Amino acid sequence: MSPIDGLIIYIIHPLLQLLWIVVLVGVILSWLISFNVVNTHNQFVSMLWRITSAITEPLLAPIRRVLPPLGGMDFSPIILLLLIGFVQGYILPELMRIF
């Protein structure tokens, strides 16, 4: 096993999987907040919202600049999830095959 294989298998792939989960949690949490199911006055909800926003906003902002809101809906998390899946499914295996 080359060093790049170990880096990909043990560090990059789990981090991308964790990022995928954080983006999904952020989307679901934003829906719950929008439909008034949960309230941001709750400390746990507020903390979870701040953490997911702090992690995802730097990644979603460039996508939002390119992709305008369509019908008032934000499709940038879907694009980010597709990009993460593309990197996990195609880029990382190709890097492992090359090195």
Task: Report the predicted TM-score, pTM, of the whole model to 2 decimal places.
Answer: 0.89
pLDDT single digits (tens) 36-62: 999 999 999 999 999 999 999 999 999
Within 8 A by CB and 6+ apart from 97, the residues are: none
Residue 20 phi, psi (nearest 5): -60, -45
Beta bridge partners of 70: 73
pLDDT single digits (tens) 13-32: 999 999 999 999 999 999 99
Contact by Cβ (8 Å): 53, 26: yes
Exposed/middle/buried for 38, CB within 10 Å: 0-12, 13-18, 19+? middle
